[in-house]
Structure 1
């Protein structure tokens, strides 16, 4: 049984995001696969998804509801998880087969290379695979002195990348960023649709827009001047895959 894990906390992403993720996983796996969701609110989540409480972690309130909370997954034991687990953020669209993510670089901690820091040794924790019980110092060291880690690294994936003992990147074509890889550069983003390369398997929607916004061509911005360049045309392939 392959295990894919996700986390849902706070109010930004509703249960529908978990259910869509589960639906995409089922369409894009051949082997028996389950989805595990760690959350403080399981209301509305498909009963077929295994739900566990958010893992305990000593975390400063100022980052308690930010990606730093994902550091809690590096502890062991962790619910009923064992062996290799593929973590996937909720704000992704799965467009291709997933089974190979469990076969690639056996025994290694595999992660997407951060799209805005290529060549700098920093992974993006939108999509990664780890073996439960390895690299537990990532959690232990953070839990002992969380303020020091937050102050030093600012962003959780920088901390994970610096602390992990061994890190292997996924093939670049497997995991891409909607905003940083696929979106045509300004001003072409006003005139060209966002393409979907055939080798793509997971599209990550870091920051804004989210999938439900990009599919209708909406990019929420607060400053009026950002509207001059933050633009996305309606993206039909999201509708075809994010369901």
Structure 2
């Protein structure tokens, strides 16, 4: 009798609007391909598939179906928890398009836990996760989206964004877990040297890092060029970005 097929591995990302071009998706695919041996399907939920490489499966972003006048911005990732996300089945690893993959990814699919997310960087006593990198079974948590749709005003009053709501919701169900410390460091908090050495020391890849998360002040091309979007916050060029953030 043949052995049962291994569960399907999926990578999910999301791109909408004009902030990120197709090169972000294309380079993310290339980084995953270099660091994840074996079969997987790479999926992008997007409102514009033009320029995205053919290896990427592009799908429309499911509508959140919010009442008129309520913006979807800050909540769009909840669409990944649809009961039927374009017929996809298996284990999904969601990655923001502006992360930089620097290490092996296999264990992101084998790490024990029903739902895994990055723990809050600045306030580790809180349950809130950073949703730049999370893993779940496709179709296994439709109540996340269903509750949001039916209680949208309540949720928006209690939580700033989707990651705070998502973390609280799954924590209350006993399903929330976090990636091992060090796997997904913050470029802003863990890569940039402390003041004043940031004026002469370049940002480095933190030891043990697998996925470096860019949030708040820099994206990968800014970091490579030594730019920050806050006045009086200097960084030297992070030249290592060019070794990883490429096709």
Residues 31 and 99 in structure 1, CA contact (< 8 A), matched pair in contact too: no
Cα distance between partner residues in 1 of 2:107 and 2:213: 18
Q: Secondary structure at the match of 1:23?
A: helix
Question: Aligned residue for 2:218?
Answer: 209
Instruction: Kindly state the Cα deviation for residue 198 of structure 1 after the two structures are TM-superposed.
Output: 4.0
Could you tell me whether the CA contact under 8 Å between 2:26 and 2:53 is conserved in 1?
yes
Secondary structure of 2:63's counterpart equals coil
Which residues in structure 2 correspond to 1:135-150 (within 5 Å)? 135-150=141-156
- Equivalent residues, number: 235
Contact 2:13/2:96, CA 8 A, preserved across alignment: yes
Q: Which runs of 5+ in 2 are unaligned?
A: 1-7
Q: Is the aligned partner of 1:94 residue 2:101?
A: yes
| 1:181 maps to which of 186, 190, 193 | 190
Matched, 1:85 2:92: yes
Give, in whole Å, the separation in 2 of the partners of 1:110 and 1:33: 19
Quote the residue 2:135 is aligned against: 129
- Does residue 75 of structure 2 align to residue 72 of structure 1? no
Q: Distance in 2 between matches of 1:116 and 1:55?
A: 32
Give the corresponding residue for 1:14: 21
Runs of 4+ in 1 over 3 A off after TM superposition: 59-63
Question: SS of the residue aligned with 1:176?
Answer: coil
Match of 2:236 in 1: 233
The residue aligned with 2:3 is: none
**Counterparts of 1:111 and 1:220, CA distance in 2:** 26
Residues 1:62 and 1:233: Cα distance change in structure 2 (over 3 Å):
farther
Alpha-carbon distance in structure 2 between the residues aligned to 1:10 and 1:114: 27
The two structures have a TM-score, normalised by structure 2, of 0.90
Q: Which moved more, 1:158-167 or 1:87-96?
A: 158-167
**Matched residues in 1 for 2:198 and 2:65: separation?**
42
Q: 1:158 aligns with which of 156, 164, 169?
A: 164
Equivalent-residue separation in structure 1 for 2:51 and 2:212 (angstroms): 24
The SS at the match of 1:21 is helix
CA contact (8 A) 2:83 2:141 kept: no
**Mapped partners of 1:59, 1:206: distance in 2:** 26
Q: Are the counterparts in 2 of residues 74 and 132 from structure 1 also a CA contact under 8 Å?
A: yes
How much has 1:81 moved relative to structure 2? 1.5
Question: Please, what is the CA RMSD of the aligned residues?
Answer: 1.5
C-alpha distance in structure 2 between counterparts of 1:116 and 1:58, whole Å:
33
Q: CA deviation at 1:54?
A: 0.5
Q: Secondary structure at the match of 2:51?
A: coil
1:77-96 deviation per Cα after TM superposition (whole angstroms, max 9, x unaligned):
11122121100000100000
